[in-house]
Amino acid sequence: MTFEQYFSVAPSATVATPGRVNLIGEHTDYNDGFVLPTVIPQTTVIQIAGRKDQTVRVVSSNMQPAAVHTYELGAEKKSSDWLVYIQGVTHILRTSGITIGGFDALISSTVPTGAGLSSSAALTVGLIKALREVFPFELTDPAIARLAQRVENEFVGAHVGIMDQMAVCLAKPRQALFLDTRSLHYELITLPEQAGLIVINSGVSHSNIGGGYSARRRSCEEAATQLKVKALRDLGLADLGRLKPLGALLERRARHVISENARVESAVLALKAGDLARLGQLFKESHASMRDDYEVSTPEIDQLVNIANLDPAVYGARLTGGGFGGSIVALAHLAEAPAAAKRIAQRYLEQVGKEPTILVP
The backbone region for 104, taken as left when phi is positive above 0, alpha when psi lies in -120 to 50, beta otherwise, is: beta
Q: Which residues are catalytic?
A: 164
Q: Which strand (E) or helix (H) includes residue 49?
A: strand 34-50
User: Can you list the alpha helix ranges (DSSP code H) found in 274-336?
Assistant: 276-292, 299-310
Contacts of 162 (CB under 8 A, 6+ apart): 29, 145, 146, 149, 179, 181, 184
Residue 91 · residue 76 · CB < 8 Å = yes
- Specify the long-range contacts of residues 273-282, CB closer than 8 Å, at least 24 apart: 274/192, 274/193, 274/194, 276/192, 276/194, 276/195, 276/315, 276/331, 276/333, 277/315, 279/195, 279/315, 279/316, 279/331, 280/314, 280/315, 280/316, 280/331, 281/315, 281/316, 282/24, 282/316
40, 19 in Cβ contact below 8 A?
A: yes
Helix (H) or strand (E) holding 344: helix 337-352
